[in-house]
Amino acid sequence: MRSERQARRLVVSALTALLATASISACSGGTPARPEVVDERNPLALFLGESLGLIDYAQLKLRNECLAEAGYRQNLETMMDRPIPAFATFAITARTFGPTTEQEARRVGFGRDQPAEPSPVVSFDPNYDRTMDECGEKAWDRLGDDVRDIYHSYFDLGNKIAGSLMKTVHDRLDKGIPAKMLACVRESGYRTTDEEEFLRTPRPQLLGVAFGAVDQTSATEWQPAKKPGTVEVGPAVPALRYHPTAEESELAVVWLRCRQRTTLAEQQLAVAVAVQKEMVTRYETSFTELNPRIRDIAKQATALIGTR
């Protein structure tokens, strides 16, 4: 069985990325690339997530058009109609750490609305599987000789940054903040279910309040019939709104006030910017070498797929 939702791919295997990096290093040469310009307020804007998402989308579009020409139109007809920026969470703002106003806190609590998802395509047809592999290779070839290696190397860079970014931010916060947060929420009548854990990592889930849920839809419960020789298309999942409980909304307002009062909100954003700068410095060579290539490939990809 082969299953795929027509959305961007997030993870690249370590071996693939290692081989890709070696390939690029072996082929690089000539005039050294100029250092990239860093935005002091948003250092990881240096990471070209939109361009990477465009390359990914172009490869999928070309592959799916090839599949359609071979008689398998399912992927082309269900794929997303636009690229999705990769590693969008690198754009850290105050809202990254929670609601920024009491009105927003009451509305969303501690949850998040879920974006729509395209229809899943599930294959039980070995001919389709072989054709998909062949079309995938052809799509990469159309994008350029070394595009796949560069794409994988840049995704690997994103995964390295994402793997440690928020943990490093948490580890750098003032060690006295958890106790201050606990004292603050206690003033509003809340008691933690695990004080030791709260003092390690303050989380609203440790305050004994029932949380809400997103809208329910039967689309998420769909299961394929698994009939050999078929390619099945499931229902698309619509955007789902999160509904906090009344108690959760009340706690979210208290939590926001306590984050502001203890300076946690201010610290989180300041530390995040500092950590981003460190990441940019740590991977400066990768950014300098890969960013110009990613920009060029994104332009090539746009020229290939246009608005089709």
Look over the chain and give the mean of its residue pLDDT values, rounded to a whole number. 90
- Does 90 have pLDDT greater than 50? yes
Residue range 195-212: average pLDDT? Answer: 97
Record the tokens describing residue 115, joined without a space.
């974006």
- Does 29 have pLDDT greater than 50? no
User: DSSP letter at 47?
Assistant: S
Specify the pLDDT at position 228: 97
Specify the pLDDT at position 143: 97
Q: pLDDT tens digit string along 245-281?
A: 999 999 999 999 999 999 999 999 999 999 999 999 9
Residue range 288-308: average pLDDT? Answer: 91
Residue range 157-173: average pLDDT? Answer: 95
Residue 147's identity, in one-letter code, is: V
Record the tokens describing residue 21, joined without a space.
């990096």
Specify the pLDDT at position 36: 66
- Does 60 have pLDDT greater than 50? yes
d(CA 30, CA 173): 43
- Does 49 have pLDDT greater than 60? yes
Specify the pLDDT at position 5: 62
Residue range 215-240: average pLDDT? Answer: 95
Residue 125's nearest CA partner among 50, 71, 65, 184 is 71
d(CA 167, CA 265): 16
- Does 299 have pLDDT greater than 50? yes
Backbone angles phi, psi at 157, to 5 degrees: -60, -45
What is the maximum alpha-carbon separation in the chain? 66
